[in-house]
Amino acid sequence: MKKFIPYRALVLARKEIYQYLNAPAFYGAAVFFLLFCSIWLFFVQHYFAVDQASLRLYFGIFPIVFIIIIPVITMKSWAEERKTGTAELLLTMPFTEWDLVLGKFFAVLSVIGMILILTIPLPLTLIRLGNFDAGMIFCEYFGALLLGASASALGLLLSALSKNQAGSFLGSAVVLMAVMLVNQITFSMNLPQWLSEFINFFSLAFHFESFSKGLIDSRDMAFFALSTAMFLFINTRVIIFRKWR
């Protein structure tokens, strides 16, 4: 019986990261993310006219942009392996399902982390113009990373369920849009409080709101951690099913 060894997952993650860095999809996603968020902040929200030393408007758009860039990054992870037949080859190697799933997850999360690092020059430039709260900015980045982790785990799961990259991208985009924006229903409809709370519980964007305000809520942290673990676990079950089918 194969045993899960974390080192093997890291080795697989390193291989995946090299592949991302040699693929145009990573650079396209990074450029789109940086340009869209900057245009949203300065031209749509008129940041300088607001005259507030806060980047909440900047981080508040992250859930929307993740709907696009997460599927771009995760669409080939499993779908391409399945299309080219290399998935079967991986399953014959001395790797457990958790080795494979965590290897791809760590790689995707590293790519998301790289994109977030590329956004740091913007707050470093603006911080000279006002009395910004460094702790609040740290919370916003921390929340963005947790949001990215949960969304990436979901994107990888949908990639494992798809037969090709196009299906993976479309499926991931639709599902991520649903789980990101489902909380908007509570704003547009007059629902009972218990129903609103129930709907908000399943919204990734709703659990990110506290971080965008500079607050670290243990309940939101637990939600992101548990949802990420759940999506990764289901991913391993999908691999086992395909292995023995």
Q: Which of 34-38, 103-107, 182-186 has the lowest mean pLDDT?
A: 182-186
Q: What is the pTM of this model?
A: 0.92
pLDDT in tens, 97-120: 888 899 999 999 999 999 999 999
* Confidence (pLDDT) at 6: 64
Query: Which tokens hold the place of 56?
Result: 């909440």
Alpha-carbon span 188 to 203, nearest angstrom: 15
Residue 61 Cα distances to 44, 113, 128, angstroms: 11, 17, 23
* Confidence (pLDDT) at 1: 44
Judged against a pLDDT cut of 50, whether residue 14 lies above it is answered with yes
Q: What is the mean pLDDT of residues 4-30?
A: 84
Cα end-to-end span (Å), the chain: 19
pLDDT in tens, 166-179: 888 999 999 999 99
- State the pLDDT confidence band at 12, using cuts at 50, 70 and 90: confident
Judged against a pLDDT cut of 90, whether residue 138 lies above it is answered with yes
Q: Which of 25-39, 41-55, 213-227 has the lowest mean pLDDT?
A: 41-55
Tell me which residue of 33, 90, 99 sits closest to 66, measured CA to CA. Answer: 33
Judged against a pLDDT cut of 70, whether residue 152 lies above it is answered with yes
Residue 77 Cα distances to 44, 144, 149, 205, 208, angstroms: 34, 22, 15, 24, 26
Domain boundaries, the chain: 6-244
Alpha-carbon span 99 to 89, nearest angstrom: 14
Residue 221 near residue 66 (C-beta atoms within 8 A): no
